[in-house]
Amino acid sequence: MPLFVYGTLCFEEVLGALLGRVPCAEPAALAGWRAAALARRPYPGLVPAPGGLARGCLLRGLTPEECAVLDAFEGAEYTMRAVAVDGGRAARTYVWCGGDVLAEDWDAERYAERVIAAYGR
């Protein structure tokens, strides 16, 4: 089943560093959720948001080994959940289970400016 990602895993630099390759990805959106900024963390958490829309990417063709790497990267503060993206396509995604959720959405551009440059070093 495809994996919907919405934060750091949308960046080719991050995927390449983790997996040694960049899987096939296409833009996708998940209604009723948002990629929330988290206090003291550079990455977002997917949280329910009535009327919200989390934009991200749908990753296809991941191997079981690659899925295990991504699970370890995401850690225990996320849980896997089945979702329907873009009005019905089945996928799975990492949902934030921790605290420290801020009112604002995560800023991908700010993350790219501050963090992504380190992946190219």
Rounded to two decimals, the pTM is 0.93
Going by C-alpha positions, the residue among 119, 114, 121, 108 that lies closest to residue 8 is 108
- pLDDT in the model for residue 20: 97
Per-block average pLDDT, block size 10, for the chain (121 residues)?
97 95 97 98 97 97 98 97 94 97 95 74 53
Q: Report phi then psi at 98, rounded to 5.
A: -85, -170
What is the CATH code for 3-119? 3.10.490.10
pLDDT 10s digits, 88-103? 999 999 999 999 999 9
CB 78 within 8 A of CB 19: no
74 is known as an active-site residue? yes
Dihedral sign, Cα of residue 61, residue 80, residue 33, residue 96: negative
**Among 66, 74, 109, 113, the one annotated catalytic:** 74
Rounded to 5 degrees, what are φ and ψ at 63? Answer: -80, 165
- pLDDT for 121 equals 53
pLDDT of res. 44 = 98
- Residue 114, pLDDT score: 79
Query: Which pLDDT belongs to residue 119?
Result: 62
Q: Mean pLDDT for the chain?
A: 94
Sequence-separated (6 or more) residues with CB below 8 Å from residue 13? 116, 119, 120
Annotated domain spans of the chain = 3-119
One-letter amino acid identity for 110?
Answer: R
